């Protein structure tokens, strides 16, 4: 079993590689949960219809549309966790308008650089990108109206600390809207420990009940799952990690991988 620190360094390394790739050879064209060689797009969501969408900021690493369901209003302050090249930040910026503020947080320097370049191209002066750890955010207490995140939190080992941090930075009455990956059942070790699965949003996932439980323990109220989709792993990906435990688990359908979009209020 990989140590928590090793997992985070692995994620940072692989997402740094993705950030340096050309858009046309990025991890996936429009979906989440892919292998680093770009071979698979398991979950696809269409961002192109959302106002504020910028194709060069979309590296295809999401598993939902959290900004679509986040009820962001003009003048809001928004924090995007795991902001990548800035995709959700630019959509949130369209929602908050000139009077609002958006901060993107990412622990990958290459992603921060790419996001800042994308913002500079567009002359945006109310978006800021900060390098930092989601488990210890560089954001003041009671600062944000809305926190969003897209297929990131499951990559990190300390879900308990993450949701307490989200609670800390939100204003009283503020809310989060997060798209993420959860599981029902248990992934076989040969799948859960695969590098592709870490970068593809799957291996760090916990069960849906555990995930909602961590949100509840952090103090959030009115927790609501807004959207839910099953994710089917393609046969060619599964064949790379075939072992006795994975074959048995797959054939018995002893686990499900699910994309959820969930909202909660402080």
**For 6-65, what is each residue's pLDDT tens digit?**
656 666 556 555 655 644 333 333 334 444 443 334 555 666 677 766 666 555 666 888
The token duo for 77 is 């302050």
Q: Which pLDDT score is estimated for 24?
A: 37
**Angle formed by the axes of helices 109-122 and 87-96, nearest 10°:** 40
Mean pLDDT of 183-205: 67
- The CA dihedral of 81, 44, 67, 108, to the nearest 10 degrees, is 20
The pTM is what? 0.81
Q: How confident is the model at residue 66 (pLDDT cuts 50, 70, 90)?
A: very high
Q: Look at the chain and report how many structural domains it folds into.
A: 1
pLDDT at residue number 41 = 47
Q: Which residue in 11, 7, 17, 212 sits closest to 107, CA to CA?
A: 11
Q: With cut-offs at 50, 70 and 90, classify the pLDDT of residue 109.
A: confident
Q: Any idea what the CATH number is for the domain that residue 113 is in? A: 3.40.50.150
CA–CA gap between residue 241 and residue 220 (Å, rounded): 38
Whether pLDDT at 262 is above 60: yes
Tens of pLDDT, residue by residue over 113-132, are 989 998 998 888 999 999 99
- Does 236 have pLDDT greater than 80? no
CA distances from 76 to 95, 128, 171, 172 (A): 8, 14, 11, 14
**pLDDT at position 34, please?**
42
Mean residue pLDDT of the chain comes to: 79
Q: Which of 198, 195, 187 is nearest to 151 (CA)?
A: 198
Containing domain of residue 45, as a range? 4-265
């Amino acid at each position: 079993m990989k140590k928590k620190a090793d997992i985070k360094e692995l994620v940072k390394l692989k997402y740094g590689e993705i950030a340096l790739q050309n858009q046309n050879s990025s991890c996936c064209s429009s979906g989440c949960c892919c292998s680093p060689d770009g071979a698979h797009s398991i979950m696809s969501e269409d961002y192109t219809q959302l106002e504020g969408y910028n194709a060069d900021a979309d590296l295809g690493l999401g598993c939902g549309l959290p900004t679509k369901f986040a009820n962001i209003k003009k003048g809001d302050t928004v924090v995007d966790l795991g902001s990548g090249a800035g995709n959700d930040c630019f959509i949130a910026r369209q929602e908050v308008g000139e009077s609002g503020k958006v901060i993107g947080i990412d622990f990958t320097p290459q992603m921060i650089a790419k996001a800042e370049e994308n913002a500079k191209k567009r002359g945006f002066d109310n978006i800021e990108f900060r390098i930092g750890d989601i488990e210890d955010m560089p954001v003041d207490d009671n600062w944000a109206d809305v926190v969003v995140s897209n297929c990131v939190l499951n990559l990190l080992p300390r879900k308990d600390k993450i949701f307490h941090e989200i609670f800390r930075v939100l204003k009283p009455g503020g809310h989060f809207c997060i798209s993420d990956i959860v599981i029902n059942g248990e992934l076989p070790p040969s799948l859960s420990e695969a590098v592709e699965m870490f970068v593809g949003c799957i291996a760090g996932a916990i069960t849906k009940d555990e995930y909602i439980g961590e949100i509840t323990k952090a103090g959030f109220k009115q927790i609501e799952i807004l959207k839910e989709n099953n994710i089917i792993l393609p046969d060619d990906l599964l064949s790379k990690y075939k072992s006795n435990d994975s074959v048995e688990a797959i054939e018995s359908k002893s686990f499900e991988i699910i994309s959820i979009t969930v909202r909660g209020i402080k």
